[in-house]
């Protein structure tokens, strides 16, 4: 019933008993044991997951895993008399909105049940429950709908009628395609093994605090989004029918842009800037590094010439 209701609003979802948690932990630990997972990356990004029911919800019986379509967002900065249009890729801006949408649909269906957000490696769960297939780029693809989805997972006290817990599967289209591997600027996607080298991914580097400079081997022309990276999804033929309209986000004035670039130190702008950033799922921690890198990656437009409008071919 819940799965069908979610499907009716365009969300692919599956239930799984909480007994699968042990298996999720084993999947991650096996890669660590084999030495495939980089230890620093594991400590930074994966060590905070907890593979048990929460203390506040010990009698949770199952997990609901969901994939929700997520659009990219346009963010405009004004600098030296010209607008600079940038992109926030899918999944950054809408975490609360996505969770609220899934929760509202579940509550409408079963108001007496309890739901609590879970913090788990959600691609592994979504793959083994059949919500997604893995692309060679290691991103989750909803069959026929593509990769531009945010994944989320909730504990609930509803008993799972059946748990499908299959093997992780690759998108059949990837068997004869290497486009993402060829396009990745940082050689993150490999021929000889499935697991990407996440520690080299542009996203891993540009989500770090701004005080961490990009390593020298990152080419300046490869920066393509305010945070994250869209290259391996944009070149993917399986996504060709999944392109979404870019949603308008926020516009930063000349002063606010200079403030974010660190050129203009007037903390009275801080609250407004923070509010705008929050609207698109960001905060000041990635500034000025990412904006400077993005500006340096663009062809020069001349002093008063406006940049071209967001071109999906270039930016998304």
Q: What are phi and psi of 291, to 5 degrees?
A: -70, -40
Range 250-289, binding ligand B12 (CB under 6 A): none
Stretch that binds ligand SF4, among 23-31, 78-86, 155-163, 196-204 (CB under 6 A): 196-204
Cα–Cα distance measured from residue 316 to residue 146, given in angstroms and rounded to the nearest whole number: 14
Report if residue 204 touches ligand B12, rule: CB under 6 A.
yes
Report if residue 156 touches ligand B12, rule: CB under 6 A.
no
Stretch that binds ligand SF4, among 17-25, 69-77, 167-175, 271-279 (CB under 6 A): 167-175
Q: What are phi and psi of 296, to 5 degrees?
A: -70, -20
Burial label for 165, CB within 10 Å (0-12, 13-18, 19+), is: middle
Residue in 3, 25, 103, 173 binding ligand SF4, rule: CB under 6 A: 173
Cα–Cα distance measured from residue 76 to residue 307, given in angstroms and rounded to the nearest whole number: 10
Range 33-62, binding ligand B12 (CB under 6 A): 37, 45-46
Locus of tokens 């500006």: 295
Residue in 24, 160, 188, 286 binding ligand SF4, rule: CB under 6 A: 188
> Do residues 156 and 63 lie in contact, with contact meaning Cβ atoms separated by under 8 Å?
yes
Locus of tokens 């609250």: 271
Cα–Cα distance measured from residue 268 to residue 188, given in angstroms and rounded to the nearest whole number: 41
Report if residue 134 touches ligand B12, rule: CB under 6 A.
yes
Cα–Cα distance measured from residue 244 to residue 69, given in angstroms and rounded to the nearest whole number: 9
Interface mask toward ligand SF4 for 32-71; x: CB under 6 A: ----------------------------------------
Stretch that binds ligand SF4, among 12-20, 35-43, 201-209, 278-286 (CB under 6 A): 201-209
Range 9-28, binding ligand SF4 (CB under 6 A): none
Residue 149: both structure tokens together? 């989805």
DSSP secondary structure code for residue 251 in this structure: E
> Do residues 167 and 128 lie in contact, with contact meaning Cβ atoms separated by under 8 Å?
yes
Q: How far is the CB of 228 from ligand B12 (least distance, A)?
A: 3
3-class state of residue 68 by DSSP = strand
Residue in 17, 53, 163, 203 binding ligand SF4, rule: CB under 6 A: 203
The item of ligand SF4, ligand B12, none sharing an interface with residue 186, based on CB under 5 to 8 Å by kind, is ligand SF4
Q: Which residues bind ligand SF4 (CB under 6 A)?
A: 135-137, 171, 173-174, 177-180, 184, 186, 188-189, 196, 201-203, 229, 231-232, 235-238
């Amino acid at each position: 019933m819940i799965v069908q209701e979610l499907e009716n609003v365009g969300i692919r979802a599956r239930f799984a008993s909480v007994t699968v948690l042990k298996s999720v932990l084993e999947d991650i630990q096996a890669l660590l044991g084999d030495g495939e997972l980089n230890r620093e990356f594991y400590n930074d990004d994966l060590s905070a997951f907890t593979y048990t029911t929460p203390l506040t919800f010990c009698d949770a019986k199952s997990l609901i895993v969901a994939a929700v379509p997520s659009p990219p967002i346009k963010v405009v900065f004004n600098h030296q008399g010209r607008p600079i249009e940038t992109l926030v890729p899918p999944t950054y801006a809408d975490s609360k909105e996505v969770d609220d949408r899934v929760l509202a649909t579940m509550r409408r269906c079963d108001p007496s049940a309890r739901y609590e957000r879970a913090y788990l490696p959600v691609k592994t769960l979504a793959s083994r429950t059949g919500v997604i297939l893995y692309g060679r780029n290691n991103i989750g693809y909803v069959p026929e709908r593509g990769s531009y989805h945010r994944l989320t997972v909730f504990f609930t006290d509803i008993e799972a009628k059946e748990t499908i817990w299959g093997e992780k599967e690759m998108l059949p289209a990837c068997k004869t395609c290497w486009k993402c591997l060829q396009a990745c600027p940082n050689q993150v996607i490999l021929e000889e093994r499935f697991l990407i080298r996440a520690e080299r991914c542009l996203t891993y580097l540009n989500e770090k605090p701004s005080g961490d400079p990009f390593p020298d081997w990152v080419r300046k022309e490869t920066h393509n989004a305010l945070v994250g990276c869209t290259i391996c999804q944009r070149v993917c033929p399986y996504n060709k029918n999944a392109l979404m309209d870019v949603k308008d986000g926020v516009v930063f004035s000349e002063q606010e842009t200079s403030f974010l670039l660190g050129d203009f130190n007037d903390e009275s702008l801080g609250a407004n800037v923070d509010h705008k950033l929050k609207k698109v799922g960001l905060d000041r921690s990635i500034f000025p590094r990412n904006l400077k890198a993005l500006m340096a990656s663009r062809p020069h437009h001349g002093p008063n010439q406006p940049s071209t409008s967001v071109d999906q071919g270039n930016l998304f």
